[in-house]
Each structure stands twice: as structure tokens, then as C-alpha cells.
Structure 1
Amino acid sequence: MAKLQNKIKNVLDESRILILGAQVLLGFQYRSAFEARFDALPPSSKYLLLTALSLILIVLGLLISPASYHRIVNRGDDTEAFHRFTTAIIEIALLPFAFSLAINFYVATREVFPFPLAAAAGLIALGTPLYFWYGLELIHRSERFPRTDREGSPAHLEDALEKVKKEGDQPNRRTPLAEKIDHLLTETRVALPGAQALLGFQFVIFLTSPFERLPSSLKYLHLASLSFITITTILLMTPAAYHRIVEKGESTEQFHRFASRILLASLTTLALGITGDFFVVVHHVTDSTPLAGALSLLMLFFFYGLWFGLTIYLKNRREEHRKGREILVASK
């Protein structure tokens, strides 16, 4: 069985793979609303693209959440709970990813073929990733892990109890500093593509004709969002510069603390930049300020709730459990 540190490194690398795929859709979907042909699309296609954008933003929020969990809850230490959390996040994120991909494929196909063929193509585009991302895995997992060997079965519980007997008296080993920094840099690389995709769109959009027709208030909001994403990109690149210039590439606790804080700070501005331009796109598509405001606030609450609210709650609960165990041990 693979070591925990290797399993966590693999799951973080897998998150990077998914975020790179999401990066492509994110940049396209933000920019598509300001392309010349967008106004000629039927209303259904416009709203579908808006739905696809919302879904890919949910994917982005989910895939970045392990970074905040690892920094806030675990302080960079590797635990089975973090591995399970990240694995679950990836499993969840693939579902809206598949739907967003299928919607984009349908809208593109609808411009070439009539509705029945486009709908069939969209369903195929949905079924294909669902099969390869979920169906194939379920088939192989059922073959590799018979019911009697799965978690919760007598065989699994017996092995788990035996492991506890052997390792129960051993103290929890802290993750080596070099591995913590390696995981931290990987988590930074997970967050960076989302900012990069949005930054490219934000600069290019100034040169499009639809942007010229936007109200001044939306132009100012877009400029503010551009500023937030620029700050995010600078922050996410700062640990690399700090590590080279200050630490000369050495792994130190000071660098780990500094880079962890920088990563968390970048997530605050990333959420603001994403939701600011999300408001601009929703308003441009629907011409409704209340709807754009409501959806943008929901998206902002989703990001902050997942990245900070949930993780702070889990951290506090973990601290309460730890203190409870200490009191129980002291009372014996």
C-alpha cells in the first residue's frame, strides 16, 4: 500500500490535471459572452452558456478547496482525513465538469446542426465523461475490491483493528518539512491556472466591441475585478520568488508559514475577482441587475464558505476533539 505522503502528492497532482482542463473552459466561457457572434445566439444558448460558466466556477471552487483545508485545518500536515477530503472533492467536481463540457459542446454543435442532432451530440458529450469518470471506475473498483473486502465489511474492519493494535501506541508522525513545502507549492500551482485563465480574458476584453457598449459602472467593476486577479497572480507567484531569493531554495519553517499565508491571502482576492466579472457576464447576458447581484453573491458565498467557512469550522471542531481527549486522559 502506498505511503500517505505519496497518496496525498498523487491526489494533489490529479487536482492539477483537472484544474488545467477547467482552465480552458473557464477562459472560453468568460470570453464567449463578449464575442461578436454571441448576440446572434438564441436566448436558450446564451442561458445555457451562463449555466456552463456557473458550473465550471463551482468546479474551480471545489478543486481549490483542498489547498485551504490543508493550510487551515492541517497546517500543512498530511492526514488520512485530508486525503479522504481531497478524494471526495475530486469525485464531486467531475460531475459539474461533465455537465459544463456537454453544454458547451451542445451550443457549439447547435450552430452547425439542427436541434435533434445537436441534442444527441450534447447527450453523447455528457455520457462519455460520465462513463469514463464514474462508470469505468465503478466497474473496476467492484472487480478489484469484492464486497467482503470493502470498507465497512468484516474483513476490512478486522484488518483495521489489527493495524490499530500494532500502531495505536505510536505517536502520530508529523509530515517532514520538505514534503509540506512540496505539497504547498503543488497547491499553489492548482490555484494559479484559474487566475491565469481569468487574467487573460480580462485584458483582452478591453479590446472587444461589446465591452465598449457596457455601462460605465460595469466597466469600473471589470477594472476592479482585473485588479483583484492581478493581485492574486502576483501573490501566487510570490512564494517562488521568496524561495529563490530569500531562502536560496532551502526548505525552512519560515518559508512554509510565509507561503501558506500568501496562498490563503490570494484566495480572498481570487474569489472577489471571479465574482466581480461573473456579475458583469450575468448582467450582460440577462440585462438584470438584481439577478446578476444575487447570483454573484451566491457564488461569492460559495467560494468563501467552502475555502474559509468550512475549513475554519473543521479546524475548530478538531481542536475541541483534541482538547476533549486531553481532558479525558488527564482525568484518568
Structure 2
Amino acid sequence: MTSLRTRVKNALDEVRILVLGTQVLLGFAYRAFFEPRFERLPARDQGILFASLCLLLAQMGLLLLPAARHRIVEGGRDSEALHRFAMNCAFGALLPFAVVIGLDLVVAVSLTSGRTGLALPIAVVAAALSLWYGIAVLRGPKPQREERIEEMKLEDKIVQVLTEARVVLPGAQALVGFQLAITLMDAYEKLPQALIFLMAPAAYHRIVERGEDTERFHRFASAMVLLALAALPFGFALDLAVVVRKQTGSVADAGIAGAVAMAFFYGLWFVWMIVIRARSR
């Protein structure tokens, strides 16, 4: 039987694969609004691309939830509840991922053929959902494992927290890569903070601890992951506000969109996790 520690690490690695895929689409989704050809798209296609962007943001919120829970609720320990939570987040994030691929294909078909074509997008979405969800449905649910929390060796804790830093990092990379091309955006000054926080543990481990695993380093790395999660919503929200401002010309609409995005991410990653921690005690 696979150990709990291995299953949790595998779950985090699988979440990271999905985050990397989301990173590619998210970087394109933001930049699309500033491409010269975007202005020539019909209003319907512009709306589809905006819906795709919003779905990707929701998906990113889901995918970074396990890292937030592991730090805030579990205190870096592995538990059956954490493993199940990470699997559910990955499972749920696949649905918007498939829908986004379909929406992007609708726009791509429209651009290349000059007419709306739904056959290819629907076929691709159906194939993705069948592959991602159909196999799981056919195999049926596995029996629930006994609830337990596993005390971990220090080196295992450090492996987990560094894995979580790699899970969060692509989210910051997607936005910084976009902002380097659009340097006049308000959020340009915010996202490098998240990258600095996520790169700090590696520097600290090499320079301060000389590569040794210590409890002090584990606490430092955990704090950096949480600080990165605290910085990311500013970038997501401000970038979305810039997109809405460009599309609508309304500062008020841009402010509302940014506020909603910030409330979504902070509510998901921090408020909800703090509530779960309070209830579990």
C-alpha cells in the first residue's frame, strides 16, 4: 500500500502539472486583449475570450488551494483529509480547463474559417471530459480510507513545502511574463513580490543553512509560500481590472472586477482555510 506521505506528494505533483498547463493558457488569455487583432474581433468572440479568462482565474484559485490548506490548516503535516482535498481540487479544476479549451477553439475556428464552427470545439471538449472524468466514473469510487494525520520527518516536510513553492510559482510566472510585455500596467509592480517570496527559500537553504534541513528553514519556507499566496491576488485582480478597463472604458467596472477577483482569491485561500482550521480544533 502506498504511504500517505507519497500519496500527498504525488497529489501535489499532479496539481503542479495542471498549474503548468493553466499557466500557458492564462498568459495567452491576458495578452490576447492587448494584441492589435483583438480590436477587430466581433463582440461575441471578445466576450468568449473574457469568459475564458475568468474561468482560468477560477481554475487557478482551485489548483492553489491544496498548498494553502497544507500550510494553514495542516501546519505542514500530511493527512488523509489533505490528500482527498487535493484530489478533489484537481478533479474539479479539469472541468473549467476543458471548457476553456473549447471556448478558445470556438474563437480560433471563427478566425480561420470566417464562420462559427462548433463541431470541433464540442468534439474536443467531449473527448477531454471523457478521458478525464469518464475513466474515473467507470472505475467507480474507491473505499474511504481511515482518517489519520501522519507525523513527518523534517526532511519530508521540507520536500513538501518546496513542492508547494513549485506549485504556486507558475501562477506568478504567467502574470509576470505577460506584464513584462505590458509594462505600463498597474499590477506590474505587484507580481515580482510573489516571485521574490517563492525564490527566497532556495536562496535561504543554500546560503544560510548550507543545504541542511532545519526546522528554522521549514518555518521560513512555509512563511514564504503563504506570503506568495498573499501577493498573488493583487496581481490577478489588478490585471483583470486593466482588461475590464480596456474593454469597457469604465473605471468603476474595472474597480468592481478587481475587487471581486481579490475577494475570491483571499476568501478561497485564506478565509475558508482559517474557517476549516478553526472547525477542526
Q: Which residue of 2 aligns with 1:57?
A: 57
Could you tell me how far apart the structure 1 residues matched to 2:85 and 2:48 are?
30
Could you tell me how far apart the structure 1 residues matched to 2:33 and 2:165 are?
29
Q: Which residue of 1 aligns with 2:41?
A: 41
Structure 2 spans left out of the alignment, 5+ residues: none
Once the two structures are TM-superposed, the CA of residue 172 in structure 1 deviates from its matched residue by 5.7
| Counterpart code for 1:41 | L
Structure 1 spans left out of the alignment, 5+ residues: 165-170, 207-218, 320-332
Could you tell me how far apart the structure 1 residues matched to 2:87 and 2:3 are?
15
SS of structure 2 residue aligned to 1:175: coil
Once the two structures are TM-superposed, the CA of residue 125 in structure 1 deviates from its matched residue by 2.5
Deviations 1:133-157 (A, max 9, x none): 1112222x13xx6xxxx53xxxx7x
Q: Which residue of 1 aligns with 2:124?
A: 125
Deviations 1:70-126 (A, max 9, x none): 00111100000101111111111111111111111111111012435x221221222
2:228 matches 1:266? yes
Q: Which stretches of structure 1, 4 residues or more, deviate above 4 A after TM superposition? A: none
Q: Which residue of 2 aligns with 1:16?
A: 16
2:247 matches 1:280? no
Contact 1:47 1:285 in 2 (8 A): no
Q: Which residue of 2 aligns with 1:30?
A: 30
The structure whose Rg is larger is 1
Contact 2:79 2:150 in 1 (8 A): no
Could you tell me how far apart the structure 1 residues matched to 2:279 and 2:202 are?
33
Distance 1:135 1:114, change over 3 A: farther
Q: Which residue of 2 aligns with 1:191?
A: 168
Q: TM-score, normalised by structure 1?
A: 0.81
| Counterpart code for 2:50 | L
Q: Which residue of 2 aligns with 1:82?
A: 82
SS of structure 2 residue aligned to 1:138: helix
Q: Which residue of 2 aligns with 1:177?
A: 154
Q: Count matched residues.
A: 281
20-29 or 99-108, which moves further after superposition? 99-108
Identity %: 43
Once the two structures are TM-superposed, the CA of residue 289 in structure 1 deviates from its matched residue by 2.9
Q: TM-score, normalised by structure 2?
A: 0.95
Once the two structures are TM-superposed, the CA of residue 314 in structure 1 deviates from its matched residue by 0.8
SS of structure 2 residue aligned to 1:112: helix
| Counterpart code for 1:122 | P
Could you tell me how far apart the structure 1 residues matched to 2:91 and 2:6 are?
19
SS of structure 1 residue aligned to 2:182: helix
Q: Which residue of 1 aligns with 2:214?
A: 252
